[in-house]
Chain A
Amino acid sequence: MANKGLGEFEELVLLAVCILDGEGYGISVKKEVERHSGRSILLGAVHITLYRLQDKGLLQSKIGGSTVKRGGRSKRFFKITDSGLKHLKAAQEVRQKMWELIPQLKFNM
């Protein structure tokens, strides 16, 4: 698994979980990703990705507080694992290296 790269969406979700620092659950992650990426995302997609990342061992979760807004149902909060953090960093490094190799950036703006 370790050598398998992260998908773009997976990376965004991971980052959002990091930003939320323990407060990340389905909706907050969805909003965080939407805010930064500017696109609208299906809730289901977030859930599926969160669970997939947990299966891969990049996230861990625990059941947390319930509110009236949710009809008294509890949330599942996600937190990044060490392995998850390693993956994120690795992805970042790969990109950084590649960016540095581009000879000259010309922006025609």
Chain B
Amino acid sequence: MRQKEENNTPALANWLASKFLKKTQHEEFLGDLEEIYRERVSRNGKFYARMKYWLDMFHILIGFSVLNPFKTDSAMYGHYLIIAKRNLWRNKVYSAINIFGLATGMGICLLICQYVYFESGYDKFHRNFENIFRVLIHENRNGTDQGTSPYATYMFGEAAKDEIPEIEDFVRVLKANESAVVSHPRSGRPVNENASNFLFADESFLEVFDFPLKSGAKESALNGMGSIVITQKTSEKYFGSDDPIGSTLEINGGNLPGNYIVTGVLKELPLNSQFQFDFLLPLENFWKNGNGGSVNRYGGWIREMFATYFTISESGDVPLISSKLDELFLKYRGRENADQQVVEKTRLQPIGDVHLKSESYASIDFVSNKGSLKDVRIFSLVAFFVLFIAWVNYINLSTARSMQRAREVGVRKSIGAFRRQLIGQFLVESTLINIVAAFLAIGIAFLALPLLGRIVGKELQLSLLWIPMFWGIFFAIVLIGSFLSGLYPAFILSGFKPISMLGTAKTVQAGNTTLRKGLITFQFLTSLILISGTYLVYKQITYMKNQELGMNIEKVLVLKGPKIIKDSPKVIDGTDMNQIRAFNEFSRSTFRTFRDEVSTDRSISKVAGSYSLPGRVDFIPISDNRKLGLPESAGRYGRLAFASLDFLETFGFELMAGSTFTKEMSEEEYVIINEEAVRSFGFGSARDAVGEKLISGGIPVTVIGVVKDFHWESLREPDAPYIFSFTDSTPPYISFRMDLSDIHASLEHIERVYDLFYPGNPFDYFFLEEDFNRQYQADVRFGNLFLAFTILGILIACIGLFALVSYSATLRMKEIGVRKVLGAGTGNLMMLLSKEYLVLLLWATVLAIPIILYTSKEWLEGYAFRTSIGFDLLLIPASILLVISIVTVSRQTYSAATLNPVKALKMDT
């Protein structure tokens, strides 16, 4: 029995054959096919045999079936095209609607495909991308998950390469966390560069990854301690058209101040690369020049901060390598880990997955613009919906129009046309329309591309068009689409009895109304889902923006702190505490006098320095915290932010217990924490926490105050424990709480004082609120994109509905005339005509409920703070759609209902 099943030929293919092949041929062909199928099963396996069977079957079907359009004489073809063209011209409005609707649908679909293609192509331009992996480390402490992080210790990569033969090469990458001022000594003007523009990497970076150099040698570009590789854009910015190789760049501030010699210029980085930077510096430099102090101290096995990538040999077994990596932890960190009851497990993530599949550790991920797999999936679905709506339109319109074509078909049939020929004719028509629409679609996609680019914030190109594969799929879809969308009308039209079409008594029904109603219901349903999706996205964004932040970010001006402090004592050796102390002393006194001086202006009420800002997570090290006296294994994760005097007051944090910072406190010894930290570190209540000692990042500090919880970041992220540590040194950000009534005068004053105390620094400022709201850019973009597609989807559905209603109105012209003569009012008649569509809308609404509820819930999972899912999610879209459809329908129904009944009754339809 089992054996027999194995050998069965695909039943569906056989069924198709029995439908479309002549009886005599059917037997012979199936015999041949079965014979060869068995041979193939035994030789190449079942899957291959089945695929081939289908292929052969299609070939035979096309060659012999009644559907064969190629068997028709070529003269007939020309005739079909002429008839098709005439038909298109005769009903210009419907043809335009048909073609334009289809083209828009296809165009949108094309754009979304391009977007999806771009998003899923991240980091796949490296020649060897399939063998490059990023290491992820999952930490479990005391039986509780500490999460997954892409950071490893300094020595991890090196040890892995030395001890695991399958690992061919490794690269450690580190993103800078301090912004810097860069200048070209000769041309001189200093420029503020964000921390994210600097990347530190091992020499092997240019070998493992494919970032081609425009000039400079790949092998040696990152060798020297003082070398720097810049991108072409950066080169133009600093050196214009000059060749920068061998020139010097001066970097002040940042993680690594000093003079650097340009050794390489990279071609523009591909947009779909996870690394986006302007300056590439040797990693060696980073730890040899002071920053590596702690790294060196423990043999390079503490301080997880280096994203580590491996190239693995082709034959390497990934899980096996991963378990070998786990053993490294036991070997080198076994004792420490055992003391703290930490278990570390590695996972190797293919580099192509980094962009879309890094959700869970995204917030500490240094990938510059993380994508969302969910978004990509949602958009793929939307693309399908939109295309489907467009095709449904075509089917609806064509079947509805079959009335008009009935007489033509009748004449054709009575003078001897075969059914096959009629089907062929309608398929030719639908193919013609689809192909015209397809070319228009490419045009539409080109026109709309910059718009899409602006919405998603990426410069997109229709790179899809350069892939031969794409054209194959494109035309396959167009052909399948024209076949499917033409098939139904073709069968309906060719199936009529000629006598019923030629007689005066109209017994012909315009197609199958159940199917048409089903399709319209489906269109309504998709439109509803799209509208409700858009509504939800905006509702969530509004919700997030309107939440109490627990701080006041309005009317706060932020100045980027100075990188150059004139006359300050130099720190030559990063480990010499005396030098550091002298520098800090100077930095502090300068900042204090600056603050006193700048506060003299009446418009400025508070001034505070901080190492980070609400809405930003740079300069916020993750620290390990525990109450004094608890064992090391009790450590809890917390975010450490350095803040100066008046920090709480400037940003409007609400103090719950204890007090704020005072001038007399010594630096980095006193902290203010938030409620979340109180809970997480186990202090009991806010009042209990005040005065307690905390070990934060290995240093004992005293809690002096507790502030109410606040949303430092976007509400996408959950609340985290924060520790504000006191420092009054010159900070990376200086914030001013001020009266904005005379902003020009205030700015002038600030700039003057700033130049006095910190000469040689650029004057860059921004408003905190704006900066903070930039976090929601991604969400807003997503919303805008969704909105755009929804509007277009609805537009397409609307024109379809419009055309259909106008058609059914003309069909019922006589009925309306009779009703009118008998005394029906305009409103009555309009209701009569609209009623059937409103019922369908109702059905769609009912069907939409579970889908909307489920998908909304799914989507909101991605946010830590969610808006509520209520009935508004259904009612608002339903009423919007109701209004839109009534408006669409009413023009037609109104003109039908107000037509002079005499005219209608005279009409010879």
Interface residues of A (CB under 8 A from B): 25-27, 30, 42-45, 47-48, 51, 63, 66-67, 69-71, 73-76
B31 and A75 within 8 A (CB): yes
B31 and A47 within 8 A (CB): no
A66 and B56 within 8 A (CB): no
Contacts of B27 in A (CB 8 A): 73-74
Stretch at the interface among B57-65, B423-431, B436-444, B894-902: B57-65
Stretch at the interface among B32-40, B491-499, B864-872: B32-40
Docked CA distance A75–B60 (Å): 16
Q: List 15 A-B contacts (CB under 8 A).
A: A26-B28, A42-B55, A43-B33, A47-B63, A48-B63, A67-B35, A69-B35, A69-B38, A70-B31, A71-B31, A73-B27, A73-B28, A74-B27, A75-B31, A76-B28
* A63-B28, A75-B28, A76-B28 known; A43-B36 Cβ under 8 A: yes
CB of B30 closer than 8 Å to a CB of A: yes
* A63-B28, A75-B31 known; A43-B60 Cβ under 8 A: yes
Docked CA distance A66–B64 (Å): 22
CB of B418 closer than 8 Å to a CB of A: no
- In the assembled complex, the CB of B18 is this many whole angstroms from the nearest CB of chain A, namely 13
CB proximity to A under 8 Å, residues B35-83: 35-36, 38, 55-56, 58-60, 62-64
CB proximity to A under 8 Å, residues B581-618: none
* A43-B60, A48-B64 known; A27-B36 Cβ under 8 A: yes
Docked CA distance A83–B14 (Å): 36
Q: Which 4 A-B pairs have the closest CB atoms?
A: A44-B59, A73-B31, A70-B31, A26-B32
Chain A: CB-nearest residue to B38: A69
B30 and A43 within 8 A (CB): no
Contacts of B63 in A (CB 8 A): 44, 47-48
Chain B: CB-nearest residue to A47: B60
Contacts of A63 in B (CB 8 A): 28
Contacts of A67 in B (CB 8 A): 35
A71 and B34 within 8 A (CB): yes
Docked CA distance A67–B35 (Å): 9
Docked CA distance A77–B60 (Å): 18
Chain B: CB-nearest residue to A63: B28
Name the one of A25, A27, A30, A73 contacting B30, with C-beta atoms under 8 angstroms. A73
Contacts of B36 in A (CB 8 A): 27, 30, 43
Interface residues of B (CB under 8 A from A): 27-36, 38, 55-56, 58-60, 62-64
Chain A: CB-nearest residue to B31: A73
Chain B: CB-nearest residue to A31: B36
Contacts of A76 in B (CB 8 A): 28
Chain B: CB-nearest residue to A45: B59
Contacts of B60 in A (CB 8 A): 43-44, 47-48
Contacts of A66 in B (CB 8 A): 31
- In the assembled complex, the CB of A93 is this many whole angstroms from the nearest CB of chain B, namely 31
B59 and A73 within 8 A (CB): no
- In the assembled complex, the CB of B678 is this many whole angstroms from the nearest CB of chain A, namely 75
A70 and B32 within 8 A (CB): yes
* A48-B63, A74-B27 known; A27-B56 Cβ under 8 A: no
Chain B: CB-nearest residue to A29: B32
Name the one of B38, B56, B62 contacting A43, with C-beta atoms under 8 angstroms. B56
Docked CA distance A66–B27 (Å): 10
Contacts of A25 in B (CB 8 A): 28, 32
- In the assembled complex, the CB of B633 is this many whole angstroms from the nearest CB of chain A, namely 67
Contacts of A27 in B (CB 8 A): 32, 35-36
* A27-B36, A69-B38 known; A44-B56 Cβ under 8 A: yes
Docked CA distance A26–B722 (Å): 79
A47 and B30 within 8 A (CB): no
- In the assembled complex, the CB of B435 is this many whole angstroms from the nearest CB of chain A, namely 25
Docked CA distance A70–B134 (Å): 55
Chain B: CB-nearest residue to A72: B31
Chain A: CB-nearest residue to B7: A71
Contacts A43-B56, A44-B59, A74-B28 given; 10 further ones with Cβ under 8 A?
Answer: A47-B32, A48-B59, A48-B63, A70-B35, A71-B30, A71-B31, A71-B34, A73-B31, A73-B34, A75-B32
Name the one of A30, A42, A69, A74 contacting B59, with C-beta atoms under 8 angstroms. A42
- In the assembled complex, the CB of A30 is this many whole angstroms from the nearest CB of chain B, namely 8
Chain A: CB-nearest residue to B56: A43
Docked CA distance A43–B27 (Å): 15
Docked CA distance A47–B29 (Å): 8
Chain B: CB-nearest residue to A69: B35
Contacts of A42 in B (CB 8 A): 55-56, 59
A43 and B28 within 8 A (CB): no
A43 and B59 within 8 A (CB): yes
- In the assembled complex, the CB of B319 is this many whole angstroms from the nearest CB of chain A, namely 39
Docked CA distance A88–B424 (Å): 35
- In the assembled complex, the CB of A85 is this many whole angstroms from the nearest CB of chain B, namely 24
- In the assembled complex, the CB of B67 is this many whole angstroms from the nearest CB of chain A, namely 14
Docked CA distance A77–B64 (Å): 18
A26 and B34 within 8 A (CB): no
Contacts of A48 in B (CB 8 A): 59-60, 63-64
- In the assembled complex, the CB of A32 is this many whole angstroms from the nearest CB of chain B, namely 14
Contacts of A30 in B (CB 8 A): 36
Contacts of A51 in B (CB 8 A): 64
Chain B: CB-nearest residue to A64: B28
Chain B: CB-nearest residue to A51: B64
- In the assembled complex, the CB of A50 is this many whole angstroms from the nearest CB of chain B, namely 10
Name the one of A26, A47, A73, A74 contacting B64, with C-beta atoms under 8 angstroms. A47
Docked CA distance A23–B229 (Å): 75
B31 and A43 within 8 A (CB): no
Docked CA distance A76–B36 (Å): 15
Docked CA distance A75–B36 (Å): 13
- In the assembled complex, the CB of B52 is this many whole angstroms from the nearest CB of chain A, namely 9
- In the assembled complex, the CB of B907 is this many whole angstroms from the nearest CB of chain A, namely 50
Docked CA distance A67–B39 (Å): 14
Contacts of B34 in A (CB 8 A): 69-71, 73
Chain B: CB-nearest residue to A43: B56
Chain B: CB-nearest residue to A61: B28
- In the assembled complex, the CB of A6 is this many whole angstroms from the nearest CB of chain B, namely 19
- In the assembled complex, the CB of A18 is this many whole angstroms from the nearest CB of chain B, namely 20
Docked CA distance A74–B34 (Å): 11
Contacts of B58 in A (CB 8 A): 44
Docked CA distance A75–B27 (Å): 8
Docked CA distance A73–B34 (Å): 9
Docked CA distance A87–B572 (Å): 98
- In the assembled complex, the CB of A52 is this many whole angstroms from the nearest CB of chain B, namely 9
Docked CA distance A45–B27 (Å): 17
Contacts of B30 in A (CB 8 A): 71, 73
Contacts of B64 in A (CB 8 A): 47-48, 51
Listed residue (A42, A44, A45, A67) with the most chain B CB atoms within 10 angstroms of its CB: A44
- In the assembled complex, the CB of A77 is this many whole angstroms from the nearest CB of chain B, namely 10
Chain A: CB-nearest residue to B36: A27
Contacts of B62 in A (CB 8 A): 44
- In the assembled complex, the CB of B6 is this many whole angstroms from the nearest CB of chain A, namely 14
- In the assembled complex, the CB of A44 is this many whole angstroms from the nearest CB of chain B, namely 3
Docked CA distance A38–B62 (Å): 26
Docked CA distance A104–B30 (Å): 51
Listed residue (B55, B62, B63) with the most chain A CB atoms within 10 angstroms of its CB: B63
Contacts of A74 in B (CB 8 A): 27-28, 31
